Structure 1
Amino acid sequence: MPPITVMLKPASGLCNMRCRYCFYADEMAHRTTESYGIMQQDTLEAIIKRVLAFAEGSCNFMYQGGEPTLAGLSFFEQALEFQKKWNVNRVVIENGLQTNGYAIDEAWAEFFARNHFLVGISLDGPKDIHDANRVDAQGKGTYNRVMHAIQLLQKHKVEFNILTVVTRQAARSTGKIYGFFQRNGFAYQQYIPCLDPWEEGAQTPYSLTAKDFEQHLKLLFDQWYQQAVRGDLQYNRYFFNLLAILNGQMPEACEMRGVCGRQFVVEADGSVYPCDFYMLDEYRLGNLVTDDFETIERRRQELAFVETSARIKESCKGCKWFALCRGGCRRNWEPVTGLDPRNVFCSAYQGFLEYAFPRLQQLSRMLQEGRR
């Protein structure tokens, strides 16, 4: 088995915030058991034992939610002990955690630093934009608490990146958001387009149109590019993956590979799913407490989840940008059952790539030559 990444949901879909656009809350509402609660320690140990017996070379444990910190700091301390106990193949183990930042205090920050966790923290920009959608259980904005959490991560020198959900409002405030991030020294950024609920045609106040997303990408790229040619090439996940493709490398982001990856997303009861966006009853692959990886892989093949994603859609055939776009994330094609499904952001990517391609080529050449 090659290096393996396992995404764990220690607190299932439980969360201490009530973000208005939360895709996982919508996802839970579409399955029989909405939440599996907090993962039990015997479940955690069984999962880690099976994963480490299967892994070769390296293994990455990524904790997400819901909000994973609701499992408590002792849960993660125990996870590290289980990793030491069951690392029979002596693989290199890395740990990461995606958090909303709401519960991060000195103890959490010190733990992340001491154990070399890579932390992703959700921040949608300055206070007015962030608080428009990222609220607590009382409906109050969470900006101040999240910024305090980030300050603690900086204080303890924790490696972290910023995850920003691009809503309609955020897309129309791209310059404001990017400038805010620069003033605060947030050099590692990832932007993800906001997902509509599963119901086809759902429209919400935060829904992102292809037109707004295209303008967001263009303005974001303009500012990022200007810094890059001045010698300050900052990490932007989407742009870095485009440069990787231009340089003949495999993109790291699964939505840019043209086919879904072989992922293992594990719920709090041990149930395994092929993708964070498809943790629904019909996509359940098995359970890592009771099933071996061979059984889980057979179920994955029966579902043809990966194979379905690899089929080139009619609307992609002949597109001049397919080699760079590769169709995008399967979730943005839903429903995929039509004769000619189309990525909801297809026109946005086409317009952006037409606009930015010459400068992407320039940066690609600069990187190949070892210059920035």
Structure 2
Amino acid sequence: MLAERSDFAAFQDQPITQLLVKVATRCNIDCSYCYWFRDASVYSKPKLMSADVLHRLLQRIEQHVVRYSLAEFPIILHGGEPLLWGVENFDRFAEACDGISARTGCDIPIAVTTNGVLIDDQWLDCFERGNISVAISLDGPAHIHDLNRRTFQGTGTHAAVERAARMLVSRDIGVIALAVCNPAYPPQQYADFFAACGIVNYDIMIPDATVDENPPSIAAFYKGLFDVWLAANRTTQTAKIRIISDMITALLGNNSPTEGVGHKPVELCTVMTDGTVEAHDVLRIAGDGFTSTRFNIFDHEIDEVRNEPRWKAARDASVKLCAKCRECKFMNACGGGYLPHRFSKKNGYDNPSVYCDDLYSMFENMQSVLESHLYFSKPDGSRVAMRDALAGS
């Protein structure tokens, strides 16, 4: 096995190092698989973040980066659909963060996750002014995308989103496409579509589901996606497929940059439109009010959420794996899978992922291929394949 250890010492005293900011709690389209509206409590929140909440949030951000001498503090603007917040608010936020950076020396990269429907030239200008990178939700070609990502009138959104994606690519704006895997379709269809759009950086995410559900198998899809990645990276048309890169990184014993792969604590902090502070927003797929806390940015500093019981419970669950996971040879690389996918009403997070068997198969396939491609040099200058070295050890 390539990855051999897991070490949490470096995380124990680490402050919150990134924020997910919900600037809008409503959406302008009706995606069938959206986790956000599985929790009816989102309807009790203000539709948009107010000027008062924004002012206090900016104060807390500056206080936080100064107190912990942070060199970088990434912020993701999210929703609902965050572009409903408006260009003026995005400009105001970016300008304020630039001011904080100038005063503190802390780099504050800003990203937004959007369905793309509202993107026009005015928004492109805004993203360029604020140096805002964009993650656009685009489920590949139209016949896949429009199955789930539709308007409230039932029509597809693909044409508008593809247009937005091509506009982003045409400008000097960092962009990644976020697709949700539909295992009924071959991964090559996704890859061909993104290549045609000029998008080289994309992710095909595992569909959200809890242990109480019965989602279709995804192993064959992701084995095929790995093959697509290998083929693309043997040419000059390099494809950056995030989930594949993350799994390889984890198998090689390094920390994956995203929370769905690798055995490490999930320490995300989410600020809602009313200033309340929660843990990971996707955890609301567990049910109504499951992520709500009594913490807010008016009465509490950002890092105080680390003492909040529900936040701590989610954080602890992310590293305290069930018995089956602790005995698995891919424990460190897999980390039990994505935390929301481990939830059941009976046992909370004390379960293997609903995709456990698929994940094991995916890692086993990937490890086998990597071992046949990796070599190391012997003292006499000869090279030995990793697979042969492991077989002889």
* TM interval, short-chain normalised: 0.7 to 0.9
- Which residues of 2 match residues 66-215 of structure 1 at below 5 A? 66-87=80-101, 88-169=103-184, 172-196=185-209, 200-201=212-213, 208-210=215-217, 213-215=218-220
CA–CA distance in structure 1, aligned partners of residues 236 and 20 of structure 2: 35
SS in 1 for 2:277: strand
SS in 2 for 1:93: coil
1:256 matched to 2:261? The reply is yes
Higher mean alpha-carbon deviation, 351-360 vs 50-59, is at 351-360
Q: Alpha-carbon deviation of 1:282?
A: 4.5
1:185-204 Cα shifts (integer Å, max 9, x gaps): 221111112224x7933x6x
Larger Rg: 2
- Which residues of 2 match residues 274-313 of structure 1 at below 5 A? 274-279=279-284, 281-285=289-293, 286-300=295-309, 303-313=312-322
Q: Alpha-carbon deviation of 1:281?
A: 3.2
Amino acid at match of 1:48: L
1:351 matched to 2:361? The reply is yes
Q: Alpha-carbon deviation of 1:174?
A: 2.1
Q: Alpha-carbon deviation of 1:6?
A: 0.8
Aligned sequence identity (%): 23
Structure-2 change in CA distance of 1:3 and 1:283 (3 Å): closer
Q: Alpha-carbon deviation of 1:291?
A: 1.2
Q: Alpha-carbon deviation of 1:225?
A: 0.8
Q: Alpha-carbon deviation of 1:129?
A: 1.0
* Residues 21 and 77 in structure 2, CA contact (< 8 A), matched pair in contact too: yes
Structure-2 change in CA distance of 1:168 and 1:85 (3 Å): same
Q: Alpha-carbon deviation of 1:363?
A: 5.7
Q: Alpha-carbon deviation of 1:357?
A: 1.5
Q: Alpha-carbon deviation of 1:26?
A: 1.0
* Residues 4 and 60 in structure 1, CA contact (< 8 A), matched pair in contact too: yes
CA–CA distance in structure 2, aligned partners of residues 115 and 25 of structure 1: 29
1:324 matched to 2:366? The reply is no
* Residues 309 and 330 in structure 1, CA contact (< 8 A), matched pair in contact too: yes
Q: Alpha-carbon deviation of 1:24?
A: 0.6
Q: Alpha-carbon deviation of 1:362?
A: 5.2
Of residues 10, 35, 40, the one that matches 1:23 is: 35
Q: Alpha-carbon deviation of 1:96?
A: 0.3
TM-score (norm 1): 0.87
SS in 2 for 1:162: strand
Any stretches of 5+ residues in structure 1 without a counterpart?
none
1:227-251 Cα shifts (integer Å, max 9, x gaps): 2233544211122112222444211
Q: Alpha-carbon deviation of 1:294?
A: 4.8
CA–CA distance in structure 2, aligned partners of residues 365 and 76 of structure 1: 48
* Residues 48 and 273 in structure 2, CA contact (< 8 A), matched pair in contact too: yes
Any stretches of 5+ residues in structure 2 without a counterpart?
1-13, 377-382, 384-393
Amino acid at match of 2:155: K
Equivalent position of 2:8 in the other structure: none
CA–CA distance in structure 1, aligned partners of residues 46 and 278 of structure 2: 14
CA–CA distance in structure 2, aligned partners of residues 61 and 316 of structure 1: 32
CA–CA distance in structure 2, aligned partners of residues 187 and 234 of structure 1: 5
